[in-house]
């Protein structure tokens, strides 16, 4: 069974009395273990698609099913719960909570999910080790470099063992060398079994993915194979 | 999402908000204290020595006018016949003089019965013994004015008739003790003798006049007062409870005023906290959208902001209570030094209920004031907010 099925997604934004057609009928299936990169010129609808897949926005038409659950049938609290427990989000600008330490940022989704404190602590430590930040657990988010912040954000996204990791331009704010580290981390995650959909401008990142989906003007125009699975 | 850490993000702003909340809380608290304080302290004062009924000339309150009651002994005997009456304390009050060197100083003179008195507490030396016609009690200010100590001799001079330039009768007495007269104003120079001595100095003796009685009864004071009133219809006889009620009516206007001012200060606090939290929440719209995106429930976010409002008002309110109590003490000092007002009256009486009420109102305010902006922020469309607020 596919993990994610998106069918005929469209998304229109009203804009000064006109309508912007950000997505014009996009269908996509993601299987468990897939590493999918979505590429295309700026403004072609990549972020919009990712937001629909992740249930943080609703399509104008079409549907998204995650593990057999159609997102449009869920109320706000059920959808929120699904994002918390089944999805992991990584943003271009990290979006960590500045008042919290690295470890606390990672613990936050687990606390929301109701995990006991000890279990949270242990898992946060384990995840920070996984992303190579075991020495930075107590640092405030604001005391970390961009690459470190993105690693914390990835650890946070993994906290509740999501079925699918969604990332929007995760290397967009990072220099080439730092971005490379994030690529390696994604590579390793996928090797360890994570299903990843990543939106990117970064040709290296796209090249590492198994499937590369090309978008243009609100459509999927092509799918090619990358180096990964 | 730790409220204190969020507040510490903008230390100057938070400090200003705390100061503002502290000031409005102090005002709210003072208004709450003031509204109930005078009345409570009035009752405490009147019941201070356990005498629950007051007798004064018809149409007056004790010591309200110069009017007096003739035939004191007969009246006292009539009252004692009531089985509920335990003690009858006759009270004479008059302006008199005392010699100091070549001049006369003006004093307030009380005539009392040491066996039944509702007027004073001995602070040094001894009380008058029954029948001690040569004994004198002094207030501390009187001791200062007369430069007299326990054991010293004082010459009291009767009230002078300004029409006649003759000296009145005089009487030599010995200071037995220093007392605190419960109803004295601050710095009032008062002295006390046995009733007959003061009656003589005040020219009340011939008709056995006194200024008032205080009566101690068992059981219900109101029904005792009613019986005494029936037995002595020419006198004004009231229980302290009834007097406090009447006093309370006189204070209605005052209480309304402090209620209005208290409400205003509460309103200011609500606006202050609401404004601050609205600004804070708006600044954090991006952060809140992120939390929503990663699956944090609306309720969690609203709760966190409410907690922050609660923390803010708890801290600010705590400071405000301290400030309010300090201010109340200062104001009390100013108000009770009004001439003619018993120094023992207190305008601001802290009681647990007022404090708890002010605290509860304030903290609830903080919690509620934050709820609305938080709810708005938690409802904002996530994708759009992330896009526009991307930090
Ligand atoms: N909230 C919005 N309101 C109006 N237009 C939007 C909104 N979000 C996206 N768009 C428009 O939709 C199109 C696709 O945007 P986006 O998905 O962000 O593209 P990409 O991520 O590929 O750069 C763009 O033309 C963009 O301007
Ligand atoms: Mg984009």
Nearest ligand 1 atom, CA A23: 14
Q: Does B293 touch chain A (CB under 8 A)?
A: yes
C-beta contacts of A140-143 below 8 A and 24+ residues apart: A140/A98, A140/A99, A140/A100, A140/A101, A140/A102, A141/A94, A141/A96, A141/A97, A141/A98, A141/A100, A141/A101, A141/A102, A141/A105, A142/A98
Q: Does B19 touch chain A (CB under 8 A)?
A: no
Cβ of A14 less than 6 Å from ligand 1: no
- State residue B390's pLDDT score: 59
Q: Does B375 touch chain A (CB under 8 A)?
A: no
Tens digit of pLDDT for each residue in B43-57?
Answer: 888 887 889 999 999
- State residue B340's pLDDT score: 67
Cα distances (angstroms) measured from residue B8 to each of A143, B150, B305: 16, 62, 14
Structure token digits, residue B388:
């526009």
Q: Which of the residues A56, A89, A104 would you substitute to probe the B interface, choosing the one with the greatest number of B C-beta atoms within 10 Å?
A: A56
Tens digit of pLDDT for each residue in B277-306?
Answer: 888 888 888 899 999 999 999 999 999 888
Tens digit of pLDDT for each residue in B130-147?
Answer: 999 999 999 999 999 999
Tens digit of pLDDT for each residue in A58-102?
Answer: 999 999 999 999 999 999 999 999 999 999 999 999 999 988 999
Which bound ligand lies closest to the C-alpha atom of A215?
1
Whether the model clears a pTM of 0.80, i.e. scores above it, the answer is: no
Number of Cα atoms under 13 Å in the Cβ half of residue B165: 0
Task: Say if residue B391's pLDDT is above 60.
Answer: no
Q: Å from A141 to nearest chain B CA?
A: 13
Q: Which of the residues A22, A100, A112, A141 would you substitute to probe the B interface, choosing the one with the greatest number of B C-beta atoms within 10 Å?
A: A112
Task: Say if residue B39's pLDDT is above 80.
Answer: no
Q: How many residues does chain A have?
A: 229
Contacts of B387 in chain A (CB under 8 A): 47
Tens digit of pLDDT for each residue in B65-118?
Answer: 788 899 999 999 999 999 999 999 999 999 899 988 888 899 999 999 999 998
Strand partners, B89: B214
Which one-letter DSSP state was computed for residue B117?
Answer: -
Band (B163; pLDDT cuts 50, 70, 90): low
Q: Does B388 touch chain A (CB under 8 A)?
A: no
- How far is residue B270's CA from residue B267's CA, in Å, rounded to a whole number? 5
Q: Do A112 and B292 touch (CB under 8 A)?
A: no
Q: Do B297 and A77 touch (CB under 8 A)?
A: yes
Q: Do B294 and A57 touch (CB under 8 A)?
A: no
- State residue B356's pLDDT score: 80
| Between B390 and B199, the higher pLDDT residue | B199
The percent of residues above 90 in pLDDT, for chain A, comes to 91
Which of A20, A44, A219 gets mutated to test ligand 1 (max ligand atoms within 8 A of its CB)?
Answer: A20
Sheet of strand A219-225: strand arrangement? A87-90, A164-168, A196-199, A35-39, A211-216, A219-225
> Across all residues in chain B, what is the average pLDDT?
86
Band (A119; pLDDT cuts 50, 70, 90): very high
B299 closest CA partner among B183, B208, B377: B377
Q: Do A92 and B293 touch (CB under 8 A)?
A: no
Q: Do B295 and A56 touch (CB under 8 A)?
A: no
How close is the Cα of A168 to the center of ligand 2, in Å? 7
Q: Å from B289 to nearest chain A CA?
A: 10
Run of H or E including B247: helix B240-250
Which bound ligand lies closest to the C-alpha atom of A45?
1
The most confident of the ranges A22-36, B16-30, B311-325 is A22-36
Contacts of A82 in chain B (CB under 8 A): 295
Q: Do B300 and A112 touch (CB under 8 A)?
A: yes
Tens digit of pLDDT for each residue in B230-282?
Answer: 999 999 999 998 988 887 787 788 778 877 888 888 788 888 888 888 888 88
Stretch B317-321: mean pLDDT: 89
Tens digit of pLDDT for each residue in B201-232?
Answer: 988 888 999 999 999 999 999 999 999 999 99
Band (B164; pLDDT cuts 50, 70, 90): low
| Between B363 and A101, the higher pLDDT residue | A101
Task: Say if residue A147's pLDDT is above 70.
Answer: yes
In degrees rounded to 5, what are phi and psi of residue B298? -55, -45
Task: Say if residue A210's pLDDT is above 80.
Answer: yes
Contact status, residue B217 vs residue B54, Cβ threshold 8 Å: no
Q: Domain limits of chain B?
A: 3-45+251-390, 59-233
């Amino acid at each position: 069974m596919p993990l994610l099925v998106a069918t005929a997604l469209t998304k229109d934004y009203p804009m000064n009395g006109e309508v912007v057609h950000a997505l014009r009928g996009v269908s996509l299936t993601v299987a468990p273990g897939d590493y999918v990169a979505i590429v295309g010129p700026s403004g072609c609808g990549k972020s919009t698609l990712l937001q629909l897949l992740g249930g943080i926005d609703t399509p104008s038409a079409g549907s998204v099913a995650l593990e057999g659950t159609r997102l449009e049938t869920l109320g706000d609290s059920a959808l929120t719960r699904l994002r918390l427990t089944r999805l992991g989000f990584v943003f271009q600008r990290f979006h960590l909570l500045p008042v919290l330490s690295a470890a606390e940022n990672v613990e936050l989704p687990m606390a929301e999910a109701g995990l006991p404190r000890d279990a949270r602590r242990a898992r946060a430590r384990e995840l920070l080790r996984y992303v190579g930040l075991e020495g930075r657990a107590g640092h405030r988010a604001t005391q970390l470099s961009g690459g470190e912040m993105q690693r914390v954000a990835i650890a946070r996204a993994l906290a509740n063992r999501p079925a699918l990791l969604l990332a929007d331009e995760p290397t967009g704010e990072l220099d080439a060398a730092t971005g490379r580290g994030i690529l390696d981390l994604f590579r390793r995650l996928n090797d360890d079994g994570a299903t990843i959909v990543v939106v990117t401008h970064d040709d290296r990142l796209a090249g590492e993915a198994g499937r590369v989906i090309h978008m243009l003007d609100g459509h999927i125009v092509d799918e090619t194979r990358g180096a990964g699975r | 999402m730790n409220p204190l850490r969020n507040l510490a993000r903008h230390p100057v702003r938070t400090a200003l908000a705390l100061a503002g909340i502290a000031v409005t809380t102090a005002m709210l608290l003072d208004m709450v204290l003031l509204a109930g304080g005078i009345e409570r302290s009035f009752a405490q004062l009147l019941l201070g020595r356990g005498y629950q009924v007051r007798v004064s000339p018809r149409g007056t309150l004790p010591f309200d006018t110069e009017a007096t009651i003739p035939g004191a002994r007969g009246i006292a005997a009539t009252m004692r016949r009531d089985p509920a009456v335990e003690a009858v304390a006759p009270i004479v009050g008059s302006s008199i003089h005392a010699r100091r060197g070549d001049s006369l100083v003006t004093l307030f003179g009380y005539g009392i019965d040491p066996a039944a008195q509702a007027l004073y507490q001995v602070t040094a030396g001894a009380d008058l013994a029954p029948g001690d016609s040569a004994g004198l009690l002094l207030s501390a200010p009187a001791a200062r004015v007369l430069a007299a100590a326990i054991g010293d001799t004082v010459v009291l001079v009767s009230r002078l008739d300004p029409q006649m330039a003759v000296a009145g009768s005089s009487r030599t007495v010995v200071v037995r003790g220093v007392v605190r007269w419960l109803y004295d104003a601050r710095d009032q120079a008062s002295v006390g003798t046995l009733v007959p001595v003061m009656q003589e100095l005040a020219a009340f003796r011939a008709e056995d006049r006194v200024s008032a009685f205080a009566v101690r009864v068992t059981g219900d004071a109101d029904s005792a007062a009613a019986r005494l009133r029936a037995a002595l219809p020419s006198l004004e006889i009231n229980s302290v409870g009834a007097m406090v009620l009447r006093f309370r009516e006189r204070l209605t206007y005052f209480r309304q005023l402090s209620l209005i001012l208290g409400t205003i200060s509460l309103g200011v606090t609500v606006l202050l906290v609401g404004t601050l939290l609205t600004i804070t929440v708006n600044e954090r719209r991006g952060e809140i959208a992120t939390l929503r995106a990663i699956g944090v429930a609306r309720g969690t976010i609203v709760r966190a902001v409410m907690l922050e409002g609660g923390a803010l008002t708890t801290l600010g309110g705590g400071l405000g209570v301290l400030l309010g109590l300090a201010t109340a003490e200062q104001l009390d000092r100013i108000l009770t030094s009004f001439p003619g007002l018993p120094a023992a009256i207190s305008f601001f009486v802290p009681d647990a209920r007022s404090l708890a009420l002010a605290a509860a109102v304030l903290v609830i305010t903080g919690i509620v004031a934050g709820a609305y902006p938080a709810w708005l922020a938690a409802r904002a469309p996530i994708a759009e907010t992330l896009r526009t607020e991307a930090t």
